[in-house]
Amino acid sequence: MHRRALVIGGSLGGLIAAHLLRSTGWDTAVFERNAEELASRGVGLGTHAQLIAILRRVGIVFDETMGIKVPKVVCLDRDGKVIAEQPTVRTMSGWARLYRALRDPLPPDKYRLGKSLKRVEQDGGGVTALFEDGTREHGNLLVGADGIRSTVRGQFLPTAQPQYAGYIAWRAVLDERDLPCEVSREIFEFYAFCLPEGEQLLAYPVPGRDNDTQVGRRGYNIVWYRPTDVRKLADLSTDATGRQHAAGIPPPLVRSEVIARIKEDARALIAPQIAEIFVRTRPFFQPIFDLESPQIVFGRVALLGDAAFVARPHVGAGTTKAAIDAASLTDAIADGDLETGLARYQRVQQPFGTEMVALGRQHGAYLGAWLKPEGERSTVERERSVADMLHAHDARSDQVREIVNAHGLSRHF
């Protein structure tokens, strides 16, 4: 029986879904709204055992070229001294490295760029995607994997909107060859934390700009969380022409004076080794949101990844969550009974997504509450010790595994 799936969204979640569906006999095509390849987008990306297992399931071997193993976590004080450390077992990859591994094996005619979805139509014969360019595609199943600003979700759940968490993440990455030698020797191989009051910065090695993991060709990635009220966010999101970008300002449009201020703050607030890296880059920022969808299946349409649930990034499991969604969906409909399979997917992935969002909120509580009056903050929201930070880092993979096991999802790996 011929079965065709339309995957809306060509980022990592959509690509993983496409590979898994194809592996079970579905004729699958991916439709990406952007007109150009996405390979240059994204920076560092954390991995979990579940993601690695699902990649292997679709034939992608997660070897030493896919990421960089870090042996130790260190916390640096304002003067750059190591005030705490602990061993770790983590592999840090890059968004672009996984994108290329997933994108390249797909036949060219199964990944279509410049296909911006206009709306979805359904009837007894299947589901049809109508695109802004006037074309139509028909299939048996449509997968909404089009991210936090999902057009698919917007049609079926217009009131389900991402909620701003009260803080932003400044991001920066620098080529290893551009790092000062003494800084590289001190921290490059480690996962590093800095904890300015009310803030949190993490930094770690990632594959380089050509997805290279060889020594000398890697990159160093920085993520700096800073509480930011909505009025200040509006100013930061306004470009030099005065246009405000409410959904997120493109990195090249961040005003030069904004860049200058954040670099001054880096010199004043964070460990000098990290600041030295940060000021050599052109950083950009992302507002942090989360989202819970009250429903993820609508007839022959299923949402996954950030189109369904957006968890804050502190657990480092956004791509892992999307991969688990894709595996659960694929296996739920594998026996050919689409209606029953989609009902199963809804039943299992809805609570899974809700718990992942709750876990992200738990890890981000300290940051999100910093704008509240001090008397309104709970103890957890008021205090964040170095020991707490290291414990949270060490526990997050276990917490993801516990949620996965609680919902019986480990069978998909």
Residue 33's pLDDT band (boundaries 50, 70, 90)?
A: very high
The answer to whether 47 and 206 are in contact (CB under 8 A) is no
Which residues face 70 on adjacent strands? 90
Residue 27 has pLDDT above 90, yes or no: yes
Question: Where is 88: in which H helix or E strand?
Answer: strand 82-94
Top-confidence residue, 1 or 209 = 209
State the Cα–Cα distance between residues 194 and 270, nearest whole angstrom: 6
The pairing of strands 82-94 and 44-46 is antiparallel
DSSP assignment of 245-263: -TT---GGGS-HHHHHHHH
Which 3 state secondary structure label does DSSP give 28? Answer: strand
Q: Is 373 exposed, middle or buried (0-12, 13-18, 19+ CB in 10 A)?
A: exposed
Burial environment of residue 335 by CB neighbours within 10 A (0 to 12, 13 to 18, 19 or more): exposed
Collapsing DSSP states into helix, strand and coil, what is residue 268?
helix
DSSP string, 362-393: HHHHHHHTTTS-GGGS-HHHH---HHHHHHHH
Q: Give 314-352 as a DSSP string.
A: GGS-HHHHHHHHHHHHHHHTTTS-HHHHHHHHHHHHHHH
Tell me the domains of the chain and their CATH numbers. Answer: 4-61+97-162+290-412 (3.50.50.60), 68-93+164-288 (3.30.9.60)
**Does residue 283 surpass a pLDDT of 70?**
yes
Give the dihedral of Cα atoms 163, 91, 191, 379; nearest 10 deg.
40
Confidence category of residue 220, pLDDT binned at 50, 70, 90: very high
pTM of the model: 0.93
CA angle (365 as vertex; 309, 275 as ends), nearest 5: 100
Confidence bin at 10 (pLDDT 50/70/90): very high
342-384 pLDDT per residue, tens: 999 999 999 999 999 999 999 998 888 877 787 777 776 777 7
Mean pLDDT of the chain: 92
Residue 65: per-residue pLDDT: 85
- In this prediction, residue 39 carries a pLDDT of 66
pLDDT reported for residue 286: 95
Given a cut of 70, whether residue 42 has pLDDT beyond it is no
* Residue 290 structure tokens: 């989360």
Query: Is the dihedral angle over the CA atoms 180, 183, 185, 190 positive or is it negative?
Result: negative
Query: Residues 78-103: pLDDT tens digits?
Result: 999 999 999 988 888 888 889 999 99
